[in-house]
Amino acid sequence: MKEIRWGIVGLGNIARKFATDLALVPNCTLQAVASSDKKRAHDFADEFNAKTHYSDYDRLFKDLKVDVVYIASLHPQHAELSIAALKEGKGVLCEKPLGLNAREVGSIITSAKENNAFLMEALWTRFNPAFEQVGKWIAQNQIGPLRYINASFSFNGLDRGEDSRLFNPDKAGGTLLDIGIYPLFLAYHLLGIPTSIKANATLTSKGVDEQLAFLLSFDKAHALMYSSFTHDEDMRATICGEEGEIYMDSRWHETPQIKLVQKGKESMKSFNFLGKGYTYEIEEVNHCLRNKLLESPKWTMKNSLEMASLMDEIRSQVGVSFPGEKTTSN
């Protein structure tokens, strides 16, 4: 089986989790890492046994021994770095959100197609075995037609400074792009494009959403979603159909345990994850590259573009924009 050689740029906390899980996946290796901080690149490479490290992103993108790049930089850098890697023919797994808005996502997709290169947004929940089981139950009509979804994602980040990535508009701060994307993804993946969206938010003095609530309405279903940086909570998700319910335990976006309820009868299903859970999106990318696919059929470029358009609409309604960007999905 062909070995897939990975590169990582943006060596923060999430990259550390990703690299830890990458080491658990067979037939792939961490070939190179890059950071603008030379010492950080050196230390990260040493800790995670990368064969090469760079203090220049472009040198990693030009490295002929790298097959695919995981981009884990700050949100405003996603488009620029993804396009730079794609132009060198590298496959790209870019951390969510793929771009700040639909316009950026469209530009990244255009570059992937022009350069005949693989592209996928790193919405790791999509590949979580428990989440895949939820999809199977729904496809099997275990709970009947879907009528209601409720999910939230919150943690208390008020102790972070105004310059942190959570609250700084220059870093595309706010809950939606960081954590609100997960509840939105759940509704979109299970129900598709809503017929209407109603969103409200509490904004900081710098104009980013520290609390966000949005109602997605569909032909015969509703999804009530929430995200916040102002408090902790026990994050669970509820999916209701006419003939039953599915409950995803805390924290629902990474849960190894789900429950199916049909006419009062409960059945639990638990999974033993390999690593933290990033292993499953890594395996999906490896599979696609070995089979010469340019996108994953499980999470396509079209999916990323439609999600970006939905986030544009939500931000437009609550009045959140970032320096130098337009929130219209043109």
CATH superfamily for 129-272+309-318 is Dihydrodipicolinate Reductase; domain 2 (3.30.360.10)
Does residue 327 register a pLDDT over 70?
Answer: no
The token pair that represents 309 in the structure block: 């358009």
Q: What is the pLDDT of residue 324?
A: 76
Does residue 329 register a pLDDT over 50?
Answer: no
Helix intervals (H) in the chain = 13-22, 38-48, 57-61, 78-87, 102-114, 129-139, 175, 181-191, 279-290, 301-318
Taking the domains of the chain in order of start, what are their residue ranges?
4-125+278-294, 129-272+309-318
Q: What is the pLDDT of residue 330?
A: 37
Order across the sheet with 119-122: list the strands.
52-54, 28-34, 4-9, 68-71, 91-95, 119-122
Does residue 229 register a pLDDT over 80?
Answer: yes
What gap in Å lies between CA 39 and CA 69, rounded to an integer?
20
Reduced to 3 states (helix: H, G, I; strand: E, B; else coil), residue 95 is: strand
131-162: pLDDT as tens digits: 999 999 999 999 999 999 999 999 999 999 88
Q: What is the pLDDT of residue 264?
A: 84
- What is the reported pTM? 0.95
State mean pLDDT over 161-179: 95
Confidence of residue 280 (pLDDT cuts 50, 70, 90): very high
Residue 247 near residue 238, CB atoms below 8 Å: yes
Confidence of residue 325 (pLDDT cuts 50, 70, 90): confident
State mean pLDDT over 34-44: 96
Q: What is the pLDDT of residue 326?
A: 53
Please give the CATH number for the structural domain made up of 4-125+278-294: 3.40.50.720
Residue 277 near residue 254, CB atoms below 8 Å: yes
Q: How many CB atoms lie within 10 A of CB 35?
A: 25
More confident residue, 215 or 325: 215
The token pair that represents 157 in the structure block: 């980040």
Q: What is the mean pLDDT of the chain?
A: 96
Does residue 56 register a pLDDT over 90?
Answer: yes
Q: Which residues of 65-100 are buried (b: 16+ CB within 10 A; e: fewer)?
A: ebbbbbbbbbbbbbbbbbbbbbebebbbbbbbbbbb
Nearest to 103 by CA among 303, 315, 312: 312
224 φ/ψ angles, rounded to the nearest 5 degrees:
-105, 115
State mean pLDDT over 294-317: 98
132 CB-near residues (< 8 Å, 6+ apart):
none
**DSSP letters for 247-308:** EEPSSGGG-SEEEEEETTEEEEEE---STTTTHHHHHHHHHHHHTT-SS-SSS-HHHHHHHH
